[in-house]
Structure 1
């Protein structure tokens, strides 16, 4: 059973005994990706209009996707940052429209000013690839009662894939995530999701080692998200140079993550993931989950 705590009411959550609100789900849930950027590595330009993004979001929700993750700045290797005003122009119309339809929304941003405005517009949580390194981002999430996804990244998007190095990738990544989670929670953020940051400042072998050791991370007190959707490691393994053609490899990686305790997977082909995860859960448990 997955669980995520919020400082106030959000779609699907129920009051908890400690004053927070708790969203619970069975098995591994799906966070569907909605990039509103023109330059994302596999779907750039698909959702630059609100109507197109809403149509995709509605299909995802109808299929049983739990969270919609809206992003307005590409974090692919080598990506250049964009001003906060540009990012807000891209994400705010979609956040407002989705909130009006009762969706649970995550905003994928590194900027506290973007997070602040998006949370006021109806987003429920923040997905920060820098792992809440900025103290202001911690303050924004705490003040809004918004949980955060804390991802591990060595370096920053423009340089993260330039000779990444670890002496012990599992110990270093897991240790950094756990320490940051405790610090963020102590600062008042209601809950934390841990993300090992597949493809963010890591070689192929680093990524595979982290995926093989996922059970160590999921055994801890915080829910874990794995986001390997259409990442370059699938090309390295299976020779699929076009990112949009990597959904079969993505499913293989995410089904592995589910078997090893991941509470969430973040995916472009979100509806297909819901279907595959339900079938895997039925095979493993011998029971059927009711569709959402």
Structure 2
């Protein structure tokens, strides 16, 4: 057993040239395999599918995360595939064995009052008012339109054949280029349009001549995702929000709050640009979580001792 594992690790290091960290994870996975086989007891080359299934279940019962179990199974599968190429095992006992599905975490959305506080926040420090106008407009578009970061920073001042996206203020519509190079149009609310006009009044003082980007940095060039995240984090702290705010959280908030008010899942799907409605259905879980909290707090039959 030890000889097979040692030779396979050499193969992974010398021939496959795996990174040291990956090698360490595989070595740990093989140590788990050795431990299970010795307790069974069973010879490594005689391990069967039912052994692997039982050991994977034991790893899960021990609290190992599904992703970690998947890594362990991948290492074991590769070992038996390698042994099989040399004719040392008749079949791969790990084939067909899958790790438990990882629970998909719910997207984090801001409560409505916090989202409104962030959008309405007007810093009273002596910062650059032009940057404040820009940041206000960014928040209004992220929360008011549900745009992705890439869609927002890809906006240009006007429509053109080269533009990834633009805002038609006369029509109150944002035209953006989403995932898979799919274009979609979303309505722009009155608060966002007002913030946009305020930003456009001062944008020319920052933007370099000929720069098409709607949102520019202090250097006058197109704003980067990291710059946007940094400014949003700063604004959230100034507004007194108790949680770390990132741009996608405002997209989640847009979807969650819209679904809570309208209940129209298909419309939310279209506004978000989701190709599959199952992607949008996660927000029904967010909405149900909110309703569950209300029920637990208010209904007399929900009281728990």
Q: TM-score category by the smaller chain?
A: under 0.3
TM (norm. structure 2) is 0.22
Query: Which structure dedicates a bigger proportion of its chain to strand?
Result: 1
When Rg is computed on C-alpha atoms for both structures, the one with the higher figure is 2
Query: Which structure dedicates a bigger proportion of its chain to helix?
Result: 2
TM (norm. structure 1) is 0.23
- Which one scores higher on RCO, CA 8 angstroms, separation ≥ 6? 1
